[in-house]
Structure 1
């Protein structure tokens, strides 16, 4: 396993949230207040995990655009066997790492790097282990400067997911963005809208069901 790079944390404006349920319920999560990331609202996280409920227990979880790691922390709190968090921004990653070490040390692997590059490495590990995971994609909103192609690139990642390694893939996206009904081996199961944000749930479809 490669050595983890550990960037030094600079002072950054933050605010607090909490783990909503499970083993770590009530634990404080530090949320970075920067334009490149945002924290999933509590009502959205609660809806997500009310949907997943006990199906998540004992399964791996991958938060692809992690930010503070609030979703992965909620996942392991509610019984996920382990999780990975990928975050590119150096200062946000330092906050993510601090959250994980304080709340769920040893349960979540934090990865400092570009999600579009690091995703393949994590996915190969799932393939090698023969594991089926839950994947959570929360890319930065495409209205931000430099993010115009973010959804197209995210769809490319989703295309790589095979049924044998996926329990469910969830995408948090701008409500005014319509994602395809089918992405590779994934089929849209349902949507839940929360103001400007929407959760789209994709279920893997075996090849003989296509």
Structure 2
């Protein structure tokens, strides 16, 4: 008998897709942002989310970016380098689009975010929210916090102070 592990789920907690169940990647290096943290984050920034361009740098399951889209963000960009997590991210985007049934601009990248961040396209005329929540520093991710700080320094050099870096 095959050993099937149940698919772990999370739910969109607010906005147009509230209650939509989405999948979590079944890998140890990817951890979802807890619902209470997501709720606090979006309750605090709700006024800024509507119409914003949301960029989730270490996307995993796309929980933060999809929550932002559900709450009125106009577009989202997702970066994920793990192939298994990326496949889950794409599944979740498909489930989300099927539920929302609304045109939205979504870009996904299967690559190392540190290579792509220097070329990140920030939108003019809208609030860009860049959300960085790196994985824990474990084997395979050694030096990740230093890389984040270096990437942040480079981003801040060309970042409009009216945008948000979280």
TM-score category by the smaller chain? 0.7 to 0.9
Greater share of residues in strand: 1
Larger relative CO (CA 8 A, sep 6+): 1 or 2?
2
Provide the alpha-carbon RMSD of the alignment.
Answer: 2.0
Tell me how far apart the structure 2 counterparts of residues 166 and 147 of structure 1 sit (CA, whole Å): 31
Q: Following the alignment from structure 2 to structure 1, what is the Cα–Cα distance between the partners of residues 5 and 78?
A: 20
Out of 129, 132, 138, the position equivalent to 2:133 is: 138
Which structure is higher in helix share?
2
Equivalences for 1:28-67 in 2 at 5 Å?
A: 28-67=21-60
Aligned counterparts of 1:84 and 1:165: Cα–Cα separation in 2? 20
Give the secondary-structure state (helix, strand or coil) at the position aligned to 1:62.
strand
Structure 1 residue runs of 4 or more that deviate by more than 6 Å after TM superposition: none
Residue-pair matches, total: 156
1:160 maps to 154
CA–CA distance in structure 2, aligned partners of residues 64 and 101 of structure 1: 19
Task: Give the equivalent residue in structure 1 for 2:165.
Answer: 169
Q: What SS does structure 2 have at the residue aligned with 1:21?
A: coil
Q: Deviations over 1:47-72 (max 9, x none)?
A: 11011012111110000000000000
Runs of 5+ in structure 1 lacking a partner?
Answer: 1-10, 171-210
TM-score, normalising length from structure 1?
A: 0.68
Question: Aligned-pair distance for 1:165?
Answer: 6.9
Determine the C-alpha separation between the residues in 1 that align with 2:6 and 2:132. Answer: 24
Residues 12 and 165 of structure 1: CA distance in aligned 2, closer, same or farther (over 3 Å): farther
